Each structure stands twice: as C-alpha cells, then as structure tokens.
Amino acid sequence: MNKTILLLLLSVSLFAQKSFKIASPTDQISIQVSQGADRALKYQVFYKAKEVIAASDLGLTLKKPALELRKFQILGVDSSIVDGTWKPVWGEVKEIRNNYKELTLHLKESGVLMDIIFRVFDDGIGFRYFFPSQDNFKHFIVDNEWSSFTMTGDHNVFWIPGDYDTNEYTYQRTKISEIDALAAAAKEKDIAVTSLMGKNFVQTPLMLKSVDGIYLNVHEAALVNYPAMHLKLDGLEFTSALVPDAVGNKAYVQTPFNTPWRTVVISNKAEQILASKLILNLNEPSKIKDSTWIKPQKFMGMWWEMHVGKANWPLAGGKHGANTENVKRYIDFADKHGFDGVLVEGWNTGWEDWFGNWKEEVFDFVTPYADYQIDTLTKYAASKGLKLIMHHETSSSVTNYERRMDAAYQFMVDKGINTVKTGYVGKIIPRGEHHDSQWMVNHYNRVAEKAANYRLMVDSHESVHPTGLHRTYPNWMAAEAARGSEFNNAPTLGINAEHTTILPFTRLMGGPMDYTPGLFHMNLNQFDSTRTTKVRSTLAKQLALYVTLYSPLQMAADLPENYESKLDAFQFIKDVAVDWDDTKIITAEPGEFVTIARKAKNKDTWFIGSITNAMARNMSFDLDFLDPDKTYEALLYRDADDADFEKNPEAYVVEKRLVTAKSKMTFRLQRGGGCAISLRRLN
C-alpha cells in the first residue's frame, strides 16, 4: 500500500509538468507519457534506462461522430500496483505471476471522455483505450487508430506481409528499411485467398532485434469486438492499421468499451521473450466456471492422406478417404499406441463444390457421406476409450455456419464427440468481410463461447492471429493462423528450414498453434510419382517440434504405415506430454535455433526439443533444472551423423544416457535438424 501511495504522489507531481513516468516492479522497463503544446500525447519506452520505443503517437479518429481524438485535456491521473498469481486450466506452466504497475490518464476531447491505460511489467508493456459510459456519447464508429511504435534504429525484423485475409506467408528476415510486402507476397502462389494491404504493411506479432541486442515483440492482447491490428511502416515508425469491414469502417462500438491491448515484450535475451506471459496476463480470467471437461489431447488425423494424394475429401472420384473401414484403421492404430482420438476430414456431404464459388449453402455439418457410418465409428472409438474429432470446414460461408452451429454442436454432443476443428478457407460470407475484420473476430469469439455452452473444445484454422484469449476461453485450445505443416506439400515455396525457429517468436507469442508436426516420410511422391515436393526437415526435428511448438492439441500428422516402419522413433510421439507443470527456455535465437525443456503435468518426466535452421550446429547445455541428487534416463532421438534435411532427412539415432542435474547435455543438430529427448527419473 505504501508503494501505491508514493506512486500516486509521483503522478500528481508529474501531472503539473504534463509528463508522466511509470516503471515496472523492478524498474527494468519504464514508460514516459508526455503532452506537447499542441495537446497531443506521445509515449516512450525505456529498457534498463535505454530508449527502445521513441516518442510514439496515441489516439483515434472516429467516423461517426466525425471526431479526432488525438489532442486531449487531461482531467486526472491514477496509478496502482498489482501482484498476484493465477493457475491456467492447462498450459506451459502450472502457475503464472501477474505483476505490474498501472498508469491511467483520464482524458477529454470534443466532449468525449476517454482513458488511456498503461501497464508496465518487467518483461514489457501494454496499453489500451477505454471509453466509459457517458450520457452524450454512446455509439461510435472507429475510422483509424493512431497507436504507433517508433523504433530507435534500423533493426533486424522478422515479418510477413500485411493482409486482411491470410497469415500463411513465409516469414521474411530483413532490416526495417528493407521491408517490401508486395515483393515478398509476389513469390507466394499457394495461398487460397489474399488481400494485400500494400508495400509497407506487415502483420503482428512482429519480432525485432536491435544492433545492440535488444529484442522487441509487438503484438496485441485480448482481441474482442475489434478488428485485428496490422502495422503500417513509415521510416522507423510502425502505426496501427486496422482491418476494415465490407464498407470500409473499422469498428462499431457502444460504450463502455475497451480496445484490445497494444503490447511490446522487451528483453536483451531471446529466451525471455519466449518465456513472457505478458499477453496472457492482459487477458480476462476464464469465463468457464467448470473446466473439468477441458482436456489437452494427442490424436491421429485422417488428414495427411489427402495432402499427399492417397485419398481425397469428396466422395466423388473414387478416392474418398473418410470411409468407415479406413477410419477404423486409424482408430485401431490410435488405440494400439495410446492416443486420445482421431480427427476425420471429408466425412460430411458438400466437398464436391465447396471451394472457390463464394457459395453460401455448402455444408450442413450433420449429414455424413453414405460410406461414413458415423454411429458405427463413434461406438467403435468409444469401445476403445477414444473419441472422434469433428471437422467443420465452413468454406468461409460464415453466415451459413452461424445458422447451423447449434444443430451442429448438438449433433456432436449426441454422438459423443467433444472437440471440433473449424476451417475458414475461401472468401468470407458476409461478402466483403475479411478474415481479420471486426465481424469475423466476433464470430471466432462466438464460436468459442457457444462451443463452451455445449462443453466442446475448439481448434480453429484460417482464423485471426491469437491474442491470449485461451485464458478467457480455455476451450479454444489451439489455432493454425500461420503457415502450418500442410504447406510442406505446397509446390512453390513450401516450408523452409528456418520457419519453425521463427514461429515461437512470432505466431506463438499470441497462443498455441496447431502446426500438425510428426511427418516421417519426407519425399511426398509416395502415392503420386509426379510430385516433387519434400518436407524440408529431418525426422528428428519433426519429433522436437512437439516440444518447441507449443499446443495442448497435438496431432501425429503422418500415415499409420509411415509410423509402423519407424516405431522406435514413433515412441517419442507416444510418450511426449501435452500439458505441463513447468517450461524452461534453454537457448533460442529467432531464425537460428530453439531449445526448450518442459516438465510433464503431475509427473517426474521432462521432455526437451531442440531445432535448428539450415545450418548444422553443436548444442551443449546444463540440466540444472532437474531434481538434484536424482538420476534420470535420457532417451535422445537425434539426427544421425549423416542426416541432412535435403540429402538424408530420415536418418536418425535413438540413444540412451544416464544423467543428473549436474550433467551437461551435448548433441549435434544437422542441417534442418533437431533432437528430441525424454528424461525419466529413475530414483
């Protein structure tokens, strides 16, 4: 309490000077907000007393009423301190500390009351705009938001082009001054729907590194009832660029209203960027009171067959994969190896003309094809302790899906199915809306909320970038929302060797990703000799991805027959956990390498994943996170000495070692390679 009083006095003193400064709990990071003679507000961010975000703009422009909310009368200032802990329903750690200082500026402009709220953590900052209830200002339309992030130099940056409809681009690694989104996008030929914003637009999460080794990650948290934030670059300044709706408006709002948080995670260590829980802490607590039905899962997928040409989604054509006997084969394999369920795609009618027609009535989500006996299969799975996982490809006819959600979810409940994978491939209906617009953001959140009412878990594909809402809706367990493993079969660019070393610093900052790892057969001409696409990864790296790319829903993506031929390597996929008590980011550098250790929930077992880009490298690190005076059996699934992601990707070695907390773990990652390790306590 004494600290809070001192902080309030400090704010009052600074208020007279029209400058306000607030520091994080240990003074690592601070924000200074200043008002110039023109009454415009700007903020700066300092890390260890060094400026890392130069003076940057704040404010909004409204279309209705037509107002510029950028030059303010300051009515008052409040500040406070919060320090507490909370336990996620599932996650990378069993408990999260939420410790920050908050500064709120109470403002008025053109008769409108508005607050800007800043929170400063030891690992970064967040700020948002709040419009309280007020008699003469109830409804408004947002035209632009001027939140900006001005960098202090021409940093290295990891980025994808700004696009209203897709986040499936290959990541670029350039200087800020070298960003050219149109040139990068021109190389892409395999993305279904694109709506590029322009040459100088990029998406968040945006990862940057300064020449003096300071890492900054720009994103947003708690994206609710608002469009996604992309960024427009002008010099060294990135400014919020909101996704418009069908008529060009950004957001329709009714007071009281909070915008999403604008976030910057900051550290001089890349590992601390990945360890940050700032975005989760800026989201609201769970809205689901009884969460006992929400369970992390490991599952098989009747999915990759269609990507490699063995089968197809539609019944027409004679290669329908989702037939009763084939799915039984997957159930048998999943049962034999201890999985929780089987995802089935192409089970329902409508796949013959679903894509590219901008057609509203496509799927009804309750009518199976004639060769898919859903009752037989759900009972067969249940007899083995498994569940089917439902697939709802909406073809982006979202109005159709919203009309049918209740019936579809009740159908799932009636069949004993408790998890749904949604998909949004194609142009959005309502026509003119975008995947990242306010209408669609609200839809994704409605799906999570409605699914919770039916006690269903959700895995969304082709959805907006996650912003930590899995804290608020822990049944929204994962999303794709980036270039996932299916792009290994994309003929133009595919997935390069560095992609999965960038994803933890970009896409995964907002939440778990359904990347679908676990591919064992790297030449994708197994069923079609004309195919030239390859998985640019060693087999050991595919195993390591189960640890480095976090998700509580993990699919073994390859075919049963490909696993049957390498059961010793498949053992790691069987053993690796999907829920965790603790996570240690051992070593990491975006675009280069990532090594992460995780402790399984309620077990004395650790798993380690280590991956590299197209460069081979030796890895060495201490195991001091293990219990002292205990011995562990370490099983290493590592690249063979002659492994190479281009020349010999499937070469691996399974090796056993005895280790303790005093041991040093060493191994070599080959080009495009990885190492997966399980550590089981022996005494």
Helices (H) and strands (E) in the chain, counts: 13, 37
Contacts of 355 (CB under 8 A, 6+ apart): 192, 395, 425, 426
pLDDT at 683: 83
Model confidence at 14, pLDDT cuts 50, 70, 90, reads very low
Residue 13 has pLDDT above 80, yes or no: no
Contacts of 371 (CB under 8 A, 6+ apart): 315, 320, 323, 324
Model confidence at 468, pLDDT cuts 50, 70, 90, reads very high
Angstrom distance (rounded) from CA 295 to CA 287:
16
- The pair of structure tokens assigned to 642 is 């002659």
pLDDT at 17: 53
In 3D space, the residue among 128, 290, 313 whose CA is nearest the CA of residue 223 turns out to be 128
pLDDT at 2: 37
Rg (CA), the chain: 25
The pLDDT of 23-28, averaged and rounded, is 98
- The pair of structure tokens assigned to 275 is 């360890």
**What are 302's strand-pairing partners?**
344
Contacts of 516 (CB under 8 A, 6+ apart): 301, 303, 484, 485, 486, 555, 557
The pLDDT of 223-248, averaged and rounded, is 98
The CA–CA distances, whole Å, from 442 to 258, 434, 450, 472 equal 14, 12, 12, 14
The terminus-to-terminus CA distance of the chain in angstroms comes to: 46
The pLDDT of 65-84, averaged and rounded, is 97
Residue 10 has pLDDT above 90, yes or no: no
The pLDDT of 177-201, averaged and rounded, is 97
If residue 240 lies in a helix (H) or strand (E), which one and from where to where? strand 237-242
Burial profile 158-181: b = 16 or more Cβ within 10 angstroms, e = fewer: bbbbbbbbbbbbbbbeeebeebeb
Mean pLDDT rounded to a whole number for the chain? 96
**How many CA atoms lie less than 13 Å away from 5 in the CB half-sphere?**
2
Active site amino acids: 486
pLDDT at 8: 43
pLDDT at 316: 94
Encode pLDDT of 413-450 as tens digits: 999 999 999 999 999 999 999 999 999 999 999 999 99
pLDDT at 5: 36
Model confidence at 104, pLDDT cuts 50, 70, 90, reads very high
Residue 139 has pLDDT above 90, yes or no: yes
Which DSSP category does 567 fall into? H
Burial profile 310-319: b = 16 or more Cβ within 10 angstroms, e = fewer: bbbbbbeeeb
Angstrom distance (rounded) from CA 97 to CA 122:
11
CA dihedral 593, 597, 601, 604 (to 10 degrees): 160
Q: Return the SS3 of 611.
A: strand
Angstrom distance (rounded) from CA 172 to CA 158:
6
Percentage of the chain with pLDDT > 90? 97
Contact status, residue 157 vs residue 175, Cβ threshold 8 Å = yes
Contact status, residue 291 vs residue 148, Cβ threshold 8 Å = no
